[in-house]
């Protein structure tokens, strides 16, 4: 198989547009790492190999060599050995867990003499490859229970291991591959439920401190949301026009009665009223399911029950299962508490650095906040601060736009694949980049909790840049030979 | 191989839309942070820029002859950077600083206590002990290598060449909260003039602080200069001041006034420059500088004789008979009397049954002899005639307002605006005041008769009396009295260079001068007669005082023609003007005009200096001391 395919490859073109963008990113990243690690007292050259920028330059060099090498390797090689890579990757992750020294609270670094590698970084493209390989079977149906089980196991296994390594951020990156599954047929309802549950969680926690009767304000608002979502689901899946209106009316009626009664007697248990509304809506759905005998009503009932159980348990999970520093990060992101010493301090300083950049920034190497070490991890996770401070709103916007173009270009490339293998892998690449972008920049500008994952191509780190390069260039190679399948 | 398309192709739009949506939301947040929130720039600057203040040296002060009076002396503070300290011989350190170990521990705890030292950081130099003297400094400097993390910071404190005129010079101390709130120039720890010249000429003396903009990292460590000092500003030294005070004359006045309460003020009439301003009791200005400031200040503040009050400008007294020349001038100017008008006196003011009383002298008298003999009745007649004159004035109220306006033009009733703080205005009532007191507009001259002889409601500061005396010496005008003669590099405030005229004709002043000359040659103040050496004009005063013995007053000037100096003397509880105020004025005039005391007056000088005229220590203090001694006895 290796030999039969090799002659066909020569005719395709590598997507130079993406390659150029890649080069632009790594060079911009290198400049900003120099700026972020610039020490006023010992100003060293950008090319000094012992400096952070110099080290990064070496890694960029290695990455480019690897990239060209990857373009020379047969696509069939990845297809054939995807499972083997996966097994090796899992093995390395487990090995790392046992032998890795603890660095900054996590056990994810494998130290080989002078080189330190994070196997978890390389596992990203391995998981994307193995899922692509799974889909690359004629007439593969994701929603068959067996297939669903295999795919979710392939993702969840490494997730569990990296969580044990205390690399929660990386675990979330693996989970972001759920976008791939969505593209390949995972019901939108499930994705919707995921989003809905995140919203429930945020609202429940954010408004958990006001108690109104037997429920908190957060829980009451989420019950309102559950009723609204239920109406939406009925409309979307059962194509009935009057039912959603009736459902909303039940909710509104109970709310109106509560308001009226509350004005008469302010000791009214509003929490109880909310539960009454939810029960009334549920009874109505049960009535409809008995009348029309449709399976979809049962799913909707399950959604209501699941939502309610999730809401009721999320506060418990937040308070009793999550670690205090994680609670603090979430609370400070939601603006509930000012955490001036811990992560709140970092985000505060990061916002000051970015905010002080203004429209045009302070100019290259003129950023005071990053130079004077006010922002933590400024050349790794918080590298975007340097861009914001020294290049201002314009620079930040250009960076964001470049990433958007990059993602949309990858989408275009993924969609033009002729094989499921190429497309699924492409979506894997997109999911990983998009998730990194969303979480990293979101954290730096203060709308996401502090989750330490790097900004692709910009953050300092050999494993990171090499892993992203491999992830991208395998896809470019697959894209190059697509027509030959 | 594999399926090429599936039914979910449309989902690419949703995924693309999600990506675009995220970027859009993030762009909005960036817009908010970078464009809509200018405060982040300020936070960043206060984070990163450490503006190190460069303190200017405070201006020096000289007397009118150019003698240096106030200057700055370096002093040394011990600073510590806790992070840089490693274990060292604490005992050796204590011995070097001449402190014991408990004091060391206390100072150390105070330095680290953020309530006492809000700016504490272990990375930056913190004050451990202030104001080492030069020997302690030398010892520490020698051993400094043994104590890593310990530094010495230079500062300056005020030093005084003479133990005199503490009340004029004032003192400097750390700025208080109110001052900081009122003037953003000051920050915590700055030194600021608190009284006297130091306060009134604060802006001249302080100069302008400079700044050095340094970069500071997240730990508070200094990382270097910002833009190589482009934003730095050199401090501008404070302005030197030359006083109009003659330090020798001042010291002599303070010597004469020792163990007495009162004031001597001498003014150069042609300029309004104050030659000496003695307020007794006073204090040695060097008490309120350096290490012992607090304890000394407390002592002075608790002193029952209140040595921190500058009585020359803040004391108000009934002017008594020294007020009479002003009355004569008004009556003449308003045509109530002529130089020939005579009133009779029979040991008192006849229309009110011999009150106010008068002393024996020839009757009836015109203005000139009545000034010489200080006849009470004459001025009472005059005031009553003015208030009840209905041909000239529509009512008693109008007449009184005219009278009051003349007084104000002669410098009474309002602050003169001397360049010293805490000046009082004295009191000249207006017609409304009396209408309120009498609850009717229909009062007459007899109701208010005691003001004609400087008693009753009127009061004035010693400075106002000296200024009045300068006005007569000048025959009708004065310059606002002031103690600062020159500001180095800047003109004097025009306030002090504008000639101010009273609306009284020169001829009337000449007559008054003659009266005051007669008072010296054969009137109430013969004790100041220095003929043939000097022709002095003067007027005594004996102010009744409800709290004790009469105050002794004198105003005058010399020489009679082309006066060089005007003087006012008040000795509280000093009895008749002639008893204390007159001889003191005599000696002061000699000192200033002759440069020495006449041989014949040496005995007088000794007698006056040795004389103690202090009122009983106020009763409450007596009680307190009594209680304290009792307690001691019990123990």
- Domain assignment of residue B590, given as a range: 249-610
- Residue A219 confidence (pLDDT) above 80: yes
Pair (A223, A237) in one structural domain: yes
Q: What is the pLDDT of residue A334?
A: 74
What mean pLDDT is reported for chain B?
88
All residues of chain A having their beta carbon less than 8 Å from the beta carbon of residue B24 are: none
Contact B455, B545 (CB under 8 A): no
A192 CB within 8 Å of a chain B CB: no
Closest to A178 in 3D by CA, of A475, A414, A430: A430
- In a domain? residue A310: yes
Closest chain B C-alpha to A189 CA, distance in angstroms: 13
Please check whether residue B262 lies inside any domain of the structure: yes
Distance (Å, rounded) from C-alpha A173 to C-alpha B465? Answer: 91
Assigned domain for B330 exists? yes
Give the residue from A364, A338, A336 showing the smallest Cα distance to A351. Answer: A338
Residue carrying the six token digits 């005199």: B164
Pair B323, B437 in one domain: yes
Verify that A97 and A144 share a domain, yes or no. Answer: yes
Chain A hits for B47, CB-CB cut-off 8 Å, are: 349, 352, 368-369, 372, 374
Interatomic CA distance for residues B149 and B138, integer angstroms? 18
The Cα–Cα gap between B498 and B286 comes to 35
Pairing of strands B210-216, B49-54: antiparallel
Q: Is A485 a member of any domain?
A: no
Q: Is residue A399 part of a domain?
A: yes
What is residue A264's three-state secondary structure?
helix
Mean per-residue pLDDT, A412-423:
91
Q: Is the pLDDT of residue B627 over 70?
A: no
Which one of A38, A372, A434 would you mutate to disrupt binding with B, by most B Cβ within 10 Å of its Cβ? A372
Residue in B9, B11, B31 closest to A182 by CB? B11
Are residue A283 and residue A399 in the same domain, yes or no? no
B435 shares its domain with B560:
yes
pLDDT tens by residue, B7-30 = 678 888 888 999 999 999 999 999
Domain-terminating residue out of A299, A332, A365: A332
What is the chain A residue with the closest CA to B31? A393
For range A180-192, the mean pLDDT: 83
What is the structure's pLDDT at A1? 39
Nearest Cβ partner of B34 from A135, A355, A401? A355
What are the tens digits of pLDDT across the range B39-92? 888 778 777 777 677 788 899 999 999 999 999 988 888 888 777 777 778 888
Q: How many helices (H) and strands (E) does chain B have?
A: 22, 18
Q: What percent of chain B is modeled with pLDDT above 90?
A: 58
B22/A437 Cβ within 8 A:
yes
B581 with B458, same domain: the answer is: yes
Domain match, A205 and A320 both? yes
| Confidence bin at B624 (pLDDT 50/70/90) | low
Residues B149, B263, single domain; the answer is: no
Q: Hey, which of A3-7, A460-464, B602-606 has the most confident mean pLDDT?
A: B602-606
pLDDT higher than 70, residue B219: no
Helices A324-333, A343-355: crossing angle, 10 deg rounding = 30
Is the same domain home to B261 and B135? Answer: no
pLDDT of residue B294: 85
Distance, in Å, from the CA atom of A43 to the CA atom of B133, rounded to the nearest integer, reads 42
Antiparallel, parallel or unpaired: β B222-225 and B241-243: unpaired
Quote the pLDDT of residue B241: 96
In this structure, the answer to whether residues A388 and A268 fall within a common structural domain is no
8 Å CB contact between B82 and B219: no
Across the interface, do B30 and A354 touch by the CB < 8 Å criterion?
Answer: yes
Is residue B28, in this structure, part of any structural domain at all? no
Looking at the complex, does the CB of residue A183 fall below 8 Å from at least one CB of chain B? yes
pLDDT at A339: 57
User: H-type helices in B158-285, by residue range?
Assistant: 166-169, 177-182, 196-200, 202-206, 247-256
Q: Is B33 on the interface with A (CB under 8 A)?
A: yes
End of a domain among B136, B155, B174?
B155
In this structure, is residue B52 part of a structural domain? no
Confidence of residue B529 (pLDDT cuts 50, 70, 90): very high
Domain for residue B292, yes or no? yes
CA distance B451 to A23: 99
Q: Which of B35, B40, B219 sits opposite A359 (nearest CB)?
A: B35
Residue B242 lies in a domain: no
The model's confidence at residue B546, banded by pLDDT at 50, 70 and 90, is confident
pLDDT in tens, B432-473: 999 999 999 999 999 999 999 999 999 999 999 999 999 999
How far is residue A156's CA from residue A158's CA, in Å, rounded to a whole number?
6
Chosen domain end from B107, B132, B155: B155
How many structural domains is chain B composed of?
2
Question: Given a cut of 60, is residue B155 above it in pLDDT?
Answer: yes
Examine the domain organization and report whether B497 and B395 are in the same domain.
yes
Question: Which helix H or strand E contains B627, and what residues bound it?
Answer: helix B619-634
Q: What is the structure's pLDDT at A2?
A: 43
- B488 and B360: one domain? yes
In a domain, B536, yes or no: yes
Query: Strand B241-243 to strand B61-62: parallel, antiparallel, or no bridges (unpaired)?
Result: parallel
Residues A328 and A194 in one domain: yes
Between CA A140 and CA A150, with CA A145 as vertex, the angle to 5 degrees is 70
Last residue of a domain, one of A281, A316, A332: A332
Q: Are residues B312 and B437 in the same domain?
A: yes
Residue in A closest to B225 by C-alpha: A40
Q: Which residues of B touch A351 (CB under 8 A)?
A: 33, 40
- What confidence score (pLDDT) does residue A297 get? 87
Q: Is B223's CB within 8 Å of A40's CB?
A: yes
| A140-149, A339-348, B166-175, B260-269 — most confident range | B260-269
Q: For residue A319, is pLDDT > 90?
A: no
Please judge whether A393 and B30 are an interchain contact, meaning their C-beta atoms are less than 8 angstroms apart: yes
Q: Which of B13-27, B144-158, B557-571 has the lowest mean pLDDT?
A: B144-158
For residue B383, is pLDDT > 90?
yes
Q: Beta A215-216 vs A211-212: how paired, if at all?
A: antiparallel
Residue A476 lies in a domain: no
Residue A222, pLDDT > 50, answer yes
Answer yes or no: do B19 and A356 touch at CB < 8 A.
no
Which pLDDT value is given to residue B188? 65
- Per mean pLDDT, which range of B237-251, B287-301, B525-539, B567-581 is the poorest? B287-301
Query: Which residues of chain B are within 8 Å of residue A410 when distances are taken between CB atoms?
Result: none
List, in order, residues 6 or more apart from A476 with CB less than 8 Å away: A14, A15, A18, A19, A70, A71
Domain count, chain A: 3
Residue B485 in tokens: 């003669």
Q: What is the mean pLDDT of residues B296-311?
A: 92
Flag if B2 and A136 touch (Cβ within 8 Å): yes
Identify the helix (H) or strand (E) that includes residue B115: none
Give the confidence band of B625 by pLDDT, cuts at 50, 70, 90.
low
Same domain, A275 and A348: no
- Look at B1 and A445 and tell me if their CB atoms are within 8 Å: no
Among B177, B323, B253, CA closest to B608: B253
Tell which wins on pLDDT, B186 or B400. B400
CB contact, 8 Å: A407 with chain B? yes
Are A294 and A366 in the same domain? no
Pick the last residue of a domain from B123, B155, B187. Answer: B155
Helix axes A270-292, A295-316, angle to 10 degrees: 160
| Distance in angstroms (rounded) separating the CA atoms of residues B520 and B371 | 10
CATH number of the domain encompassing residue B586: 3.40.710.10
- Please state, rounded to an integer, the average pLDDT across all residues of chain A: 86
pLDDT (mean) for B503-516:
95
Which chain A residues touch B123 with a CB distance below 8 Å? none
Read off the pTM.
0.61
Average pLDDT in the B528-552 region?
90
Least confident range of A316-330, B401-415, B567-581: A316-330
CB contact under 8 A, B8 and A185: yes
Identify which of A280, A274, A279 has the alpha carbon closest to the alpha carbon of residue A258. A274
Q: Is residue B67 part of a domain?
A: no
Q: Tell which A residues from 64 to 123 touch B, by Cβ distance under 8 Å.
A: none
Same domain as A64, residue A105: no
Segment 387-406 of chain A within 8 Å of chain B by CB: 388-389, 392-393, 396-397, 400-401, 403-404
- Do B137 and B259 lie in one domain? The reply is no
Element (H, E) at A34: helix A16-36
Do B146 and B255 belong to one domain? no
| Residues 6 or more apart in contact with residue B143 via CB below 8 angstroms | B92, B96
Residue B571 near residue B546 (C-beta atoms within 8 A): no
Contact present, B239 and B489 (Cβ < 8 Å):
yes
Q: Which structural domain range is residue A202 located in?
A: 190-332
Same domain, A240 and A324: yes
* Most confident residue range from A96-110, A255-269, B16-30: B16-30
CA angle B593, B599, B601 (to 5 degrees): 75
Q: Which two tokens stand for residue A436?
A: 């990194």
Closest CA to A453 of A445, A470, A441: A441
Interval A298-311: pLDDT, tens: 888 988 998 988 88
B517 vs A53, higher pLDDT: B517
Residue A6 inside a domain? The answer is yes
Quick check: is A468 in a domain? no
Establish if A472 belongs to a structural domain.
no
In A, residues 29-68, which contact B (CB 8 Å cutoff)?
40-41
CB contact under 8 A, A355 and B29: no
A292 or A485, which is more confident: A292
Say if residue A69 is in the same domain as residue A81: no
With respect to residue A151, please indicate whether it lies within any of the assigned structural domains. Answer: yes
A310 and A375 part of one domain: no
């Amino acid at each position: 198989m290796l030999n039969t395919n090799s002659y066909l490859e020569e005719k395709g073109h590598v997507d130079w547009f993406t390659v150029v963008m890649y080069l632009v990113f790594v060079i911009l990243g290198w400049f900003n790492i120099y700026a972020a690690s610039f020490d006023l007292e010992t100003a060293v050259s950008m090319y000094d190999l012992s400096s952070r920028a110099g080290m990064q330059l070496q890694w960029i060099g290695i990455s480019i060599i690897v990239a060209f090498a990857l373009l020379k390797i047969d696509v069939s090689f990845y297809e054939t050995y995807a499972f083997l890579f996966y097994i090796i990757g899992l093995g390395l992750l487990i090995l790392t867990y046992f032998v890795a020294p603890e660095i900054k609270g996590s056990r994810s670094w494998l130290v080989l003499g002078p080189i330190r590698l994070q196997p978890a970084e390389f596992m990203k493209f391995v998981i994307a490859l193995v899922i692509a390989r799974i889909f690359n079977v004629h007439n593969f149906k994701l929603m068959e229970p067996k297939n669903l089980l295999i795919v979710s196991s392939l993702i969840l296994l490494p997730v569990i291991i990296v969580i044990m390594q205390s690399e929660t951020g990386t675990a979330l990156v693996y989970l972001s591959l759920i976008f791939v599954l969505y593209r390949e047929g995972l019901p939108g309802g499930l994705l919707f439920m995921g989003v809905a549950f995140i919203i429930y969680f945020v609202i429940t926690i954010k408004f958990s401190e006001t108690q109104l009767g037997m429920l908190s304000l957060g829980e009451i608002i989420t019950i309102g949301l559950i009723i609204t979502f239920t109406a939406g689901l009925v409309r979307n899946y059962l194509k009935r026009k009057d039912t959603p209106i009736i459902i909303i009316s039940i909710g509104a009626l109970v709310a109106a009665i509560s308001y009226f009664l509350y004005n008469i007697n302010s000791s009214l248990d509003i929490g109880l009223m909310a539960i009454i509304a939810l029960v009334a809506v549920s009874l109505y759905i049960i009535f409809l399911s008995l009348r029309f005998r449709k399976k979809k009503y049962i799913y909707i009932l399950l959604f209501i029950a699941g939502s309610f159980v999730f809401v009721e348990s999320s506060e418990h999970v937040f308070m009793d299962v999550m670690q205090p520093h994680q609670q603090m990060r979430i609370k400070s992101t939601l603006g509930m508490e000012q955490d001036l010493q811990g992560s709140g301090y970092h985000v505060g300083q990061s916002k000051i650095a970015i905010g002080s950049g203004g429209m045009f920034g302070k100019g290259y190497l003129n950023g005071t906040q990053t130079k004077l070490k006010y922002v933590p991890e400024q050349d790794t996770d918080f590298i975007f601060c340097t861009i914001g401070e020294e290049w201002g709103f314009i620079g930040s916007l250009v960076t964001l736009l470049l990433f958007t173009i990059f993602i949309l270009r990858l989408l275009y490339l993924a969609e033009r694949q002729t094989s499921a293998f190429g497309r699924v892998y492409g979506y894997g690449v997109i999911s990983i980049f998009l998730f990194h972008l969303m979480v990293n920049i979101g954290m730096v500008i203060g709308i996401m909790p502090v989750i330490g994952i790097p900004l692709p191509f910009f953050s300092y780190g050999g494993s990171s840049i090499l892993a992203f390069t491999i992830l991208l260039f395998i896809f470019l190679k697959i894209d190059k030979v697509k027509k030959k399948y | 191989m594999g399926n090429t398309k599936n039914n979910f192709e449309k989902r690419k739009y949703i995924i693309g839309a999600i990506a675009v949506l995220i970027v859009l939301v993030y762009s909005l947040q960036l817009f908010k942070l970078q464009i809509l929130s200018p405060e982040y720039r300020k936070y960043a600057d206060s984070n990163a820029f450490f503006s190190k203040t460069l303190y200017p040296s405070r201006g020096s002060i000289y007397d009118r002859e150019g003698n240096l009076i106030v200057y700055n002396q370096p002093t040394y503070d011990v600073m510590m950077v806790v992070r840089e300290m490693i274990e060292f011989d604490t005992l050796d350190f204590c011995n070097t600083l001449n402190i014991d170990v408990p004091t060391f521990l206390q100072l150390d705890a105070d330095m680290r206590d953020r309530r006492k030292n809000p700016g504490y950081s272990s990375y930056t130099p913190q004050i451990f002990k202030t104001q080492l003297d030069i020997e302690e400094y030398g010892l520490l400097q020698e051993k400094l290598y043994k104590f890593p993390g310990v530094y010495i910071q230079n500062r300056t404190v005020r030093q005084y060449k003479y133990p005199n005129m503490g009340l004029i010079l004032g003192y400097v101390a750390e700025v208080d909260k109110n001052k900081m709130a009122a003037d953003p120039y000051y920050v915590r720890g700055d030194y600021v003039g608190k009284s006297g010249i130091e306060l009134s000429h604060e802006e001249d003396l302080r100069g302008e602080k400079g700044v050095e903009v340094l970069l500071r990292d997240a730990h508070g460590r200094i990382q270097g200069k910002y833009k190589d000092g482009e934003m730095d500003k050199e401090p501008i030294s404070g302005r030197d001041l030359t006083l109009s005070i003659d330090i020798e004359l001042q010291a002599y006045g303070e010597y004469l006034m020792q163990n007495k309460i009162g004031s001597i003020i001498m003014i150069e009439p042609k300029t309004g420059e104050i030659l000496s301003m003695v307020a007794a009791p006073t204090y040695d200005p060097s008490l309120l500088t350096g290490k012992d400031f607090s304890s000394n200040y407390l002592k002075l503040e608790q002193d029952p004789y209140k040595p921190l009050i500058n009585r020359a400008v803040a004391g108000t007294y009934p002017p008594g008979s020294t007020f009479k020349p002003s009355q004569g001038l008004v009556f003449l100017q308003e045509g109530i009397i002529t130089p020939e008008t005579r009133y009779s006196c029979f040991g008192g003011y006849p229309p009110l049954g011999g009150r106010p009383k008068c002393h024996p002298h020839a009757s009836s008298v015109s203005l000139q002899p009545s000034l010489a003999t200080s006849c009470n009745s004459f001025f009472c007649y005059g005031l009553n005639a003015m208030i009840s004159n209905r041909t000239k004035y529509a009512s008693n109220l109008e007449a009184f307002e005219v009278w009051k306006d003349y007084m104000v033009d002669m410098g009474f009733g309002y602050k003169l605006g001397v360049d010293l703080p805490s000046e009082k205005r004295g009191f000249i009532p207006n017609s409304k005041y009396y209408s309120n007191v009498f609850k009717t507009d229909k009062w007459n001259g007899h109701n208010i008769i005691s003001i004609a002889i400087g008693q009753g409601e009127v009061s004035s500061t010693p400075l106002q009396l000296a200024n009045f005396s300068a006005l007569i010496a000048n025959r009708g005008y004065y310059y606002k009295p002031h103690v600062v003669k020159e500001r180095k590099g800047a003109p004097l405030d025009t306030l002090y260079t504008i000639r101010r005229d009273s609306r009284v004709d020169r001829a009337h002043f000449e007559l008054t001068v003659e009266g005051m000359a007669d008072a010296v040659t054969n009137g109430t103040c013969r004790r100041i007669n220095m003929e043939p050496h000097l022709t002095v004009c003067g007027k005594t005063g004996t102010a009744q005082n409800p709290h004790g013995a009469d105050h002794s007053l004198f105003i005058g000037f010399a020489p009679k023609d082309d006066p060089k100096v005007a003087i006012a003397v008040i000795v509280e509880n000093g009895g008749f003007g002639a008893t204390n105020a007159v001889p003191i004025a005599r000696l002061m005039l000699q000192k200033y005009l002759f440069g020495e005391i006449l041989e014949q007056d040496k005995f007088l000088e000794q007698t006056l200096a040795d004389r103690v005229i202090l009122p009983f220590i106020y009763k409450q203090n007596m009680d307190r001391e009594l209680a304290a001694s009792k307690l001691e006895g019990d123990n």
